[in-house]
Amino acid sequence: MLICYLNITIVAGGDNPVEGIGHFTMHDDTNNSWRFLKKPKFVNGHYCNKNYVGAIYDPYTSSWEYGFTTPTKGTWFDVWVAVYWNCYMNTKFENRECTSENIHYRGCLLVLDLSFSFVYDSNNE
């Protein structure tokens, strides 16, 4: 089977870059679908159980493998992803709290490359 990739770029529309993504799925109009992530995944040097460690990249870019053949040129597709920022450790409940936004992208495949960008307003809390 041909290995296909979805390339995404998430751009902060404010001062707070992406710290995590989750609930990440794709569906095309030929009835193919793929779930990349169900639960949140911290990125940009952020971790669930400790404070920030590492570099922050804005925009955040990543490549994700999916398990169906890239649709033909002219096929419409949808991508949904939850974006998390302003994350902090809530020591009382021993969990990570974040501001989040669910983002939806609908596009038409113009070339045989699934790449696109999301922009979110990270100043919106």
pTM over 0.75: yes
Give per-residue pLDDT as tens, 73-82.
Answer: 888 989 999 9
pLDDT band at 34 (very low <50, low <70, confident <90, very high): very high
Residues with Cβ within 8 Å of 82's Cβ and at least 6 positions away in sequence, in order, are 21, 22, 23, 24, 40, 100, 101, 102, 103
Domain boundaries, the chain: 4-120
